Structure 1
């Protein structure tokens, strides 16, 4: 396994036109730049930190930049490095998917040093849904390839605890949690020791080194009440609808090269749900990558930090982006 390197980061604060400055970070390609700039979009209740972290080796960003790809990460409003100047907190998925991603992509194309002026978008969990929503709502979006990592567009066979937690949109929209990262810092080691099966829906101790939990939880963000409600509504109707556009039903019209990465023991986005975009998208070039087996079960977040992620996840992802 290659040794981790010190990441070169160029941090940009990008005005999204709604009173927020988004944390957009450029990681230059190592050596000769190849391919298109890669934008990695985090999911719900998280920020982009995890893309530059791995407990035992090179991170996702390190592996992609080592292959000559210029990698950008984004913290959308309410995440990580993003800063609220005078913007409101009453935003939902549409604002993230359409407005924030539009601002981030425009900034990337204005500042990239990659040889091709289109973006490859890697969406992680809810970030994949935001990416699909963007191309469905913005037909001329300058996006070439799409990658969904434990992503979803249409719900299929969700876990019972997910239905229980999000069974009422009204109640879900009333939930406000603060200091989630601090709670995770305390709770993650305890769950790993006393109740690994509960933690295993998200992270599996058999596959991921949890000894650096204090660093790992830096990716955790507080949930947002409006987005809680919207996810509950989405779960109830199954199909994703953003600004009146049924994103689920738009998938057959999409022609972007597509890679679908499935965590085979995912307890958050079930494999059935994660595979659906692959089955429904109209892309003439599409590939499926399933990660995990009985010996090394891979849950939701394991895709980014599991033992051997470099060979099992990051290398095939880099191969795909360079080939299409």
Structure 2
């Protein structure tokens, strides 16, 4: 039976990060490394544990025998502010918080898959901007605990950008603090779903059950103004450059096995932008794989990777199979 428990880890900067552990004791293989799911921009781990019509990603992987941790980093979901600043950027989340979460989960994991040095490593699945956070961790943290990477619809280099995002990147987004985005999503989603083409950049209404907008809105968080400003600069320059470090260049040092999963009609993070991670990492070709979800008949957009009726067959199943196969390590 699936068990979900939530633990908290102090990030040392005034935030308690949430670790949501999904595990089925009857099938959990403790000899495997834990799997960590990392949510992305203005979202939290709710969408990783929720599906409107079937099993969510976290539950699917747990049923496949994995111990799964969904993380909420600062500003996300169930993370708790304990005196920390609400002014934070991409490095604060992707480098500092993700390090703290991965190190902290060891005390709550049942895995026996320790390295010869006694450290527990994890297989990290970065979802949307969470994929960028995982690349930051692998490239910029010399003491990281990652063993394998799954980039699930995340950007590295903006080689392709939707016109709406290019327009947003020109606006003074860093000067505004947006509040109430969850309420707005809940109120507007039913109407947006009725307008042909309006949601296509984010999801395909034909593939998703949108009858419960309140449930779907729980995955939406208010974005950080500084993160907005950094993303705008990133989109304009194509490369994410922080303190003189260029992530597009620095991932060449990453040699870890990499699975890249692309939604074929993704308008939020277009296919060429997701694929850039596979092209730029230093991992040998026989340890990399690219999976494109959808075909000419099934047009899968960004959120369809997580909540569409096709997600289990097109995304969750091949992802679990890749994790189960250790021949690429």
Q: Secondary structure at the match of 2:197?
A: helix
Secondary structure, counterpart of 2:143 in structure 1: coil
Q: Residue deviations 1:235-254, cap 9 Å, x none?
A: 11111123432111022221
Alpha-carbon distance in structure 2 between the residues aligned to 1:28 and 1:244: 41
TM-score (normalizing by structure 1): 0.94
Tell me the SS of whatever aligns to 1:28. strand
Of the candidates 88, 97, 101, which is equivalent to residue 98 of structure 2?
101
In structure 1, the partner of 2:85 is 88
Report the counterpart of residue 124 of structure 1 in structure 2. 127
Q: Name the residue aligned to 1:317.
A: 319
Structure 1 runs of 4+ with >6 Å offset: none
Pick closer, same or farther for the CA change 1:267–1:79 going to 2, 3 Å: same
C-alpha contact (below 8 Å) 1:35/1:321 kept by paired residues: no
Moved more, 184-193 or 245-254: 245-254
SS in 2 for 1:203: coil
Residues of 2 paired with 1:89 and 1:184: CA distance? 22
Question: What is the Cα deviation at residue 80 of structure 1?
Answer: 0.5
CA distance in 2, matches of 1:58, 1:139: 36
Tell me the secondary structure at the aligned position of residue 275 of structure 1: helix
The residue matched to 2:125 in structure 1 has which SS? strand
* Secondary structure in 2 matching 1:102: helix
Return 5+ residue gaps in structure 1 as ranges: 1-5
Task: Find the residue that maps to 2:215 and give its secondary structure.
Answer: helix
Contact 2:87 2:224 in 1 (8 A): no
Query: 1:217 Cα deviation (Å)?
Result: 1.4
- 1:152, distance to aligned residue in structure 2 (A): 0.9
The aligned residue for residue 3 of structure 1 is none
Stretches of structure 2 lacking an aligned partner (at least 5 in a row): 114-119
The equivalences for 1:1-324 within 5 A come to: 7-30=2-25, 31-33=27-29, 34-116=31-113, 117-168=120-171, 171-193=172-194, 195-284=195-284, 285-324=287-326
214-223 vs 257-266, which moves further:
214-223
**Separation in 1, partners of 2:152, 2:129:** 9
Corresponding pairs, count = 316
Instruction: Confirm or deny: 8 A CA contact 1:146 1:257 kept in the other structure.
Output: yes
Distance 1:7 1:203, change over 3 A: farther
Q: Distance in 1 between matches of 2:295 and 2:282?
A: 29
CA RMSD of aligned residues (A): 1.3
